[in-house]
Structure 1
Amino acid sequence: MLWILLAIVALIVVATFVLFRVHDLSQFDDDDWAIREVAPNPAHDEVMERIKDMGRASKGLKGKARLMALRNHLDSLGEGVEIESDIRHCDYPKGEWVIAPGADTRRRVLYIHGGAWAAGSPRSHRAITDRFSHVANAAVFALDYRLMPEHRFMDGIRDCRQAYTWLLNHGPEGEEKAKFMVVAGDSAGGSHVLSLLAWIRDNGVRQADAAIALSPSTDLTLTAPSNRDNIRTDALLGPVFGGLSKIPLPILWWGTLAAFRISPTNPVASPLRGHLNDLPPTLIHASTTEMLLHNATRYAAKARSEGSPVEVHTWQNMVHVWHIFSPLLPEAEQAFDDIGEFLARVESGQTEAKTA
């Protein structure tokens, strides 16, 4: 019996090595980036209370009930936001247009929301999409892509690809070619953004003029240092995902394969692990205290090494995707100003592959 057990263990070890070829990317752990310091502000305490409310909303619940509570709470974040934009529902592709007063509808932003691929919606992220429409002077299409676990991970990927190609030729007023295209998203949606850019490049589709990823997930292998080092300082992701640090990485990789039906080393799910050449000007935001910090900085460093104009801008001690707390947080407003400045530089041809 012992030799059978040892044979099984050996087989699993070999299968793990063959299936998950996790290359060491620590050469891209360069901490030489500017950090925007943050002054204490009463708004930060209010944000922390809102995050605690999210935990309370699902406390004691399990399974589907817990997921539905989380989804409902995220949607409630968008319901209390005062916005100036016109909201128009769209059935195909599924989502909503968010159009600031006077926005040029030939300028378009495809926005892909976050929520760990299992939560979030256009409604939950209206604070972000409203501000995007203003700073980009564009019509924003917030995609309502299919979520896990009701759907497969790749269903959401296909929804993003379909929406992008549709937006190239359709605006809120009907069929009309886009003159300026931006792809943007946060967290899990930021991963979809970066994956989409590579797909566009590889399939001969008109590339986006610019891309913006807010606190993106870029690597599901969870090998970046901040995935573990920043558990205690990440008020949002730490309590939810911090426990994963106690599980050996190979087991997590097999779990990801089972849940996502795609290897965590596949660039579709982990954009960092793909080819990052010939990408459009891309801006990434991250916080120094979030678990996904090195997901952002590694991606930017690797992309620059391959010649793509990717910038990473970091803020000190901010919560994961603090942009969603606009206009409450001054730093959220600063982040949107930064996005506006980036887009202006893109249009003037002044972007370059650097860290700022």
Structure 2
Amino acid sequence: MTPWYLPVLGAGLGLVLVAWAVAAFYLDGADLARYDTDRGERFASHRPASPGLDDAMARLARAEPPAGLPEAQRLPLRRGLFDRLFSERVFAASFTPVAVDGVKGEWVLAPGADPQRRTLYLHGGGFVVGSPLSHRTITSRFSALTGGAVLALDYRLMPEHKRMAPVEDARLAYRWMLEHGPAGRAPAQAVFVAGDSAGANLTLSLLAWARDQGLRNADAAVVLSPPTDATFASPSIQANLDSDLMLGPVFRKIAHIPRAVVLWINWLQSGIRPCDPLVSPVYGDLSRLPPLLVQVSETEMLYDDARRYVNRAREAGSPARLQSWNHTLHVWHIFNPELPEAEEAYAEIGKFLADEAPQRKAAP
């Protein structure tokens, strides 16, 4: 007589095999190992870590709620703390609230900014925290670097909203910005898109969508520490787990979960296949994209996400550049002036933007 548990065990093993097959052949992306080659332009590769790193980490720690709070209380508190991370800073730029067809945001204008030169900036924060307020250190600098207005979008966040919500908000804002400026309806003369972390992911997804929609391409785009692969296949996801001072502690809890399980979790949470270019732009069509500058830390977990994207884009004929810094944080640009690497990175961004879309010189 067959033991009762054998059919149950067989059914369980069958389900495991089916789940593994779905993860391997439906949720996972193509093998991109051949793009782990060109390392682009490297900065501070032999320099030790900046003394300001401790100050930056101490500031970041102030954005974490006290331990022991229920998650329902932690998230709102964390959002508030993150928004006030640089509340003592005084900026030369002006900040004006704006409604973009129902989506909130703000116009950021550095002194002398040309309102017909416009940048859509998409903030980071893992799609769960962050706002135009938390990123004024970056957006005010982009206004100065572009010589124009920056539309900092307060896109909808998870978990209150689906993963598609920020994608839809970014698309809406891009269309709107092409024809609207700080002073009202007027066509843009120069257009840029930029973002960091989660916002960098949205930026890359947006660039491909705008191309496919036949909309005006951005004159140039800049992304900082971009997550480009929601399948977590990049080697640095594991290799830089210990050296990534910001993301490492967050992802350590899931670092040893089988990747097939992580793929299923991502799919169930977002409703989008992890390999879909909508959330993993590295797997999409990267041809005919605008000039792109990608900056990343060599010690962060997303280093190979950035490297693979740039190498694929260049292979597809798109003008993409990779710049990396060693011994610094994920999106170190926000810690300015604590980190000298931030000023170096902004200087490179300024050169890139000036080459791709120079400002008009005033008449003598």
**TM-score over 0.5 for the alignment?**
yes
Q: 1:14 deviation in Å?
A: 2.9
1:58–1:70: 8 Å Cα contact kept in structure 2?
no
For 1:125, the equivalent position in structure 2 comes to 135
2:98 alignment partner AA: C
Residue identity over aligned pairs, in percent, reads: 44
2:78 corresponds, among 70, 75, 78, to: 70
Alpha carbons of 1:167 and 1:17: their partners in 2 closer, same or farther (altered >3 Å)? same
2:53 alignment partner AA: H
C-alpha distance in 1 between matches for 2:295 and 2:166: 23
1:32 corresponds, among 18, 39, 49, to: 39
Which range is displaced more, 220-229 or 44-53? 44-53
Q: 1:13 deviation in Å?
A: 2.7
1:10 corresponds, among 8, 12, 17, to: 17
- In the TM superposition, what whole-angstrom CA distance separates every residue of 1:230-267 from its partner, at most 9, and x where no partner exists? 11111110111122211000100110011111111010
1:53 corresponds, among 33, 39, 62, to: 62
1:104–1:138: 8 Å Cα contact kept in structure 2?
yes
For 1:352, the equivalent position in structure 2 comes to none
Aligned length: 347
Which entry has the higher C-alpha Rg, 1 or 2? 2
1:230–1:291: 8 Å Cα contact kept in structure 2?
yes
Matched, 1:258 2:258: no
Which range is displaced more, 65-74 or 22-31? 65-74
**Unaligned stretches of 5+ in structure 1?**
349-356
1:216–1:292: 8 Å Cα contact kept in structure 2?
yes
Q: 1:347 deviation in Å?
A: 2.5
1:334 corresponds, among 344, 355, 360, to: 344
- In the TM superposition, what whole-angstrom CA distance separates every residue of 1:70-91 from its partner, at most 9, and x where no partner exists? 2122101242221111110012
Which has the bigger relative contact order, CA under 8 A and spacing at least 6?
Answer: 2
**Unaligned stretches of 5+ in structure 2?**
1-7, 359-364
Q: 1:40 deviation in Å?
A: 5.0
For 1:165, the equivalent position in structure 2 comes to 175
C-alpha distance in 1 between matches for 2:66 and 2:153: 25
Q: 1:68 deviation in Å?
A: 2.0
Which range is displaced more, 1-10 or 280-289? 1-10
Q: 1:19 deviation in Å?
A: 2.1
C-alpha distance in 2 between matches for 1:212 and 1:137: 15
Which range is displaced more, 75-84 or 4-13? 4-13
Q: 1:39 deviation in Å?
A: 5.2
1:228 corresponds, among 238, 249, 256, to: 238
Alpha carbons of 1:131 and 1:336: their partners in 2 closer, same or farther (altered >3 Å)? same
C-alpha distance in 2 between matches for 1:222 and 1:61: 29
Q: TM-score, normalised by structure 1?
A: 0.94
For 1:294, the equivalent position in structure 2 comes to 304
Q: 1:30 deviation in Å?
A: 1.2
- In the TM superposition, what whole-angstrom CA distance separates every residue of 1:31-76 from its partner, at most 9, and x where no partner exists? 5333211455432221122233334x34333422222232122101
Q: TM-score, normalised by structure 2?
A: 0.92
C-alpha distance in 1 between matches for 2:66 and 2:193: 32
Which range is displaced more, 18-27 or 212-221? 18-27
2:95 corresponds, among 87, 92, 95, to: 87
Which range is displaced more, 320-329 or 306-315? 320-329
1:112–1:193: 8 Å Cα contact kept in structure 2?
yes
1:112–1:143: 8 Å Cα contact kept in structure 2?
yes
1:88 alignment partner AA: T
Alpha carbons of 1:297 and 1:107: their partners in 2 closer, same or farther (altered >3 Å)? same
C-alpha distance in 1 between matches for 2:147 and 2:194: 14
2:63–2:85: 8 Å Cα contact kept in structure 1?
no
C-alpha distance in 2 between matches for 1:337 and 1:230: 26
Q: CA RMSD in A?
A: 1.4
